[in-house]
């Protein structure tokens, strides 16, 4: 038992040390990344490119996922709310609250972290293992600022617009399932969406999306920038970036909900 206890303490201390080292390396990298660009023209060129690559290219995925999630939420809520004491517009109202409070920001960013996060980590990681980042450093360029800053700025800029698209598409998905199946009257669904609307819920989702966008872009960039080895390590770094991004999104979601909604 004493041997097991000692091994457990060593493992715990090792995990804690590695976690603190990674946190310190992450903070130092972000300090290097977030600063005034050397050439504003080149920065804006890369910034616009990242907005298109990380944001605009994700719109088809957002539309498909949001459409089906909105329809699914409406179906499940209708099937599980059979109390005759509840008004018929409860389906639309509940669907709207779920979409505004959680799906359009938290769940959407969890989905996008798999696409965007792996893309960022693999791109920067490939540049690291092929020594392109070392070449930038040799030329006197702040490689962290040059590579990471446009990605963070681009994703933080475009994410609120993606959230708004997700909100509209999800509610439209619920509308379409009402038209196709007739589970409830379309007018009743629309009335439920409009009833007891709280504007702050929309702002709450947009505020969360800004934090989540920073988490996805910065953590993925960190894992890609610090990768060592070859193509296998780049793949592992992409997986680790997505996993850590998801964990931090969920943790931040709980903290922001506590701070902003209570």
Among 18-22, 211-215, 218-222, name the one with the lowest average pLDDT.
18-22
In contact, 71 and 210? CB cutoff 8 Å: no
Q: Whole-angstrom Cα distance, residue 53 to residue 47? A: 10
Q: What is the pLDDT of residue 158?
A: 93
In contact, 190 and 89? CB cutoff 8 Å: no
In contact, 128 and 224? CB cutoff 8 Å: yes
Average pLDDT score over the chain: 86
Tokens matching residue 110: 């969890």
Q: Between the ranges 100-109, 139-148, 201-210, where is the mean pLDDT highest?
A: 201-210
Tokens matching residue 56: 């605009």
Q: What is the pLDDT of residue 157?
A: 93
Of 194, 200, 244, 198, which Cα lies nearest the Cα of 218?
244
Q: What is the pLDDT of residue 13?
A: 65
In this predicted model, what pLDDT tens digit does every residue of 15-62 receive, in sequence order? 677 778 888 888 888 888 887 887 888 889 999 999 999 889 999 999
* Mean pLDDT confidence for 167-183: 90
Q: Whole-angstrom Cα distance, residue 98 to residue 178? A: 17
Give SS3 for 248: helix
Q: Whole-angstrom Cα distance, residue 261 to residue 200? A: 9
Q: Whole-angstrom Cα distance, residue 66 to residue 174? A: 10
Residue linked to tokens 């360029």 = 141
End-to-end alpha carbon distance in the chain: 46
């Amino acid at each position: 038992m004493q041997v097991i206890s000692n091994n457990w303490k060593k493992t715990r201390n090792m995990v804690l040390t590695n976690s603190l080292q990674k946190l310190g390396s992450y903070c130092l990298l972000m300090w290097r990344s977030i600063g005034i660009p050397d050439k504003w023209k080149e920065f804006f060129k890369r910034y616009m490119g990242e907005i298109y690559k990380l944001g605009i290219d994700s719109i088809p995925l957002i539309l498909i996922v949001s459409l089906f999630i909105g329809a699914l939420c409406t179906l499940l809520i209708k099937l599980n709310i059979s109390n005759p004491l509840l008004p018929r517009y409860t389906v639309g109202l509940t669907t709207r609250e779920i979409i505004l409070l959680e799906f359009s920001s938290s769940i959407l960013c969890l989905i996008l972290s798999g696409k965007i996060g792996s893309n960022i980590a693999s791109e920067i990681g490939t540049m690291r293992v092929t020594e392109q980042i070392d070449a930038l450093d040799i030329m006197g360029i702040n490689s962290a600022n040059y590579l990471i800053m446009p990605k963070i700025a681009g994703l933080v800029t475009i994410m609120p617009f993606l959230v708004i698209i997700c909100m509209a598409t999800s509610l439209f998905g619920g509308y379409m399932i009402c038209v196709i199946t007739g589970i409830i009257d379309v007018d009743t669904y629309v009335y439920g969406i409009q009833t007891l609307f709280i504007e702050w819920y929309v702002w709450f989702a947009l505020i969360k999306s800004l934090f989540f966008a920073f988490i996805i872009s910065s953590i993925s960039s960190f894992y890609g920038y610090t990768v060592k080895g070859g193509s296998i390590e780049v793949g592992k770094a992409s997986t680790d970036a997505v996993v850590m991004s998801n964990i931090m999104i969920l943790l931040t979601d709980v903290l922001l909900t506590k701070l902003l909604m209570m």
